[in-house]
């Protein structure tokens, strides 16, 4: 009886893992804007809905919108210039750019579907071209569908981990592998967004070398307490600078 129960557990666990793999293959699609094959399980409309629903709460966490409408207009103008002069214009997403009142947290981020934010703490350190670099990077996250991909990948590894736990009590090991994979892929998202950000800057007439200065600003802001690259979803600024230089060489003159 115990032997039969053990065999049943192995079978069920194996079936769960196979289901996850089949579903992952079924959800694979090529991103028409980057050419990369991704595991995605939601539509562009769903991404837009998630972003719009989450935007007010995210803004509130950073003190709401910055009260100076003149600066809000500047951020929107630079962002829209990047969109209108690039492949972003061809995407189905609804791009909106928000300057947040947070004067302490140096950050910028994008929600699925085109809601893009930058804190005043970071904005206040940038000139217009550097602002374009930051916003271009965040637009790159939207074009790359990175949030949707991470959601699908997280669900995949949860299912595989459950199957491994049922079949062989190895869910913890598989879950750890999944977390490391997601961390590595997260760094890849940042580099892809840097690459796209450089392209958007060039298309819009901004000096792409200002993106390198953005990395230097981020490095200076992190100081000696900056988290090591292997513990962070963001590559080390020095490594990002090298990748940005390669992207500039690739796109310049095209």
Give 133-183 pLDDT, tens digit per residue.
Answer: 999 999 999 999 988 888 777 665 455 555 445 444 444 433 443 344 334
Mean pLDDT over the full length of the chain: 78
Measured CA to CA, the distance from residue 133 to residue 43 in angstroms comes to: 27
Work out the pLDDT band at 188, boundaries 50, 70, 90.
confident
Distances (CA, A) of 184 to 53, 162, 166, 240: 28, 22, 27, 14
Give me the phi and psi of 86, to 5 degrees please.
-145, 180
Largest distance between two CA atoms of the chain: 74
Percentage, residues of the chain above pLDDT 70 = 69
Give me the phi and psi of 248, to 5 degrees please.
-60, -45
Contact assessment for residue 27 and residue 33, using Cβ atoms and an 8 Å cutoff: no
Q: What is the predicted pLDDT for the residue at 48? A: 92
Q: What is the predicted pLDDT for the residue at 56? A: 93
Task: Provide the whole-model pTM.
Answer: 0.77
Q: What is the predicted pLDDT for the residue at 151? A: 78
Average pLDDT over residues 34-50: 86
User: Per residue in 55-81, pLDDT tens?
Assistant: 999 999 999 999 999 999 999 999 999
**Which segment of 66-80, 108-122, 158-172, 238-252 scores lowest on mean pLDDT?**
158-172
Contact assessment for residue 120 and residue 105, using Cβ atoms and an 8 Å cutoff: no
Work out the pLDDT band at 82, boundaries 50, 70, 90.
very high
> Pairing between strand 115-119 and 108-110?
antiparallel
Domain boundaries along the sequence of the chain: 2-251
Q: What is the predicted pLDDT for the residue at 14? A: 44
Q: What is the predicted pLDDT for the residue at 227? A: 45
Average pLDDT over residues 2-12: 52
* Residues in a beta bridge with 153: none
| Residue 125 in this model has a pLDDT that exceeds 80 | yes
Q: What is the predicted pLDDT for the residue at 123? A: 97
Any idea which residue has 């750019």 for tokens? 97
Contact assessment for residue 144 and residue 34, using Cβ atoms and an 8 Å cutoff: yes
Average pLDDT over residues 218-231: 56
């Amino acid at each position: 009886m115990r032997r039969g129960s053990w065999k049943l557990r192995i079978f069920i666990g194996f079936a769960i893992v196979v289901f996850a793999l089949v579903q992952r293959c079924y959800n694979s699609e090529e991103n028409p804007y980057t050419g990369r094959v991704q595991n995605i399980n939601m539509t562009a409309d769903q991404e837009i809905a998630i972003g719009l629903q989450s935007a007010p709460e995210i803004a509130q966490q950073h003190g709401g919108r910055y009260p100076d409408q003149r600066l809000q207009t500047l951020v929107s103008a630079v962002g829209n210039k990047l969109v209108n002069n690039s492949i972003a214009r061809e995407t189905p997403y609804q791009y909106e750019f928000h300057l947040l009142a947070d004067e302490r947290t140096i950050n910028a981020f994008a929600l699925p579907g085109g809601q893009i934010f930058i804190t005043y703490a970071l904005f206040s350190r940038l000139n217009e071209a550097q602002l374009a670099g930051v916003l271009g990077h965040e637009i790159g996250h939207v074009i790359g569908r990175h949030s949707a991909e991470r959601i699908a990948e997280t669900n995949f590894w949860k299912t595989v981990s459950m199957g491994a736990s049922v079949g062989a009590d190895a869910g913890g090991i598989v879950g750890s592998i999944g977390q490391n994979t997601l961390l590595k892929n997260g760094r890849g998202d940042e580099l892809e967004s840097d690459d796209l950000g450089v392209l958007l800057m060039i298309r819009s007439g901004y000096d792409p070398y200002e993106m390198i200065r953005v990395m230097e600003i981020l490095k200076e802001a992190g100081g000696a307490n900056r988290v090591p690259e292997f513990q962070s979803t963001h590559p080390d600024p020095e490594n990002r600078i090298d990748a940005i230089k390669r992207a500039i060489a690739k796109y310049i003159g095209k």
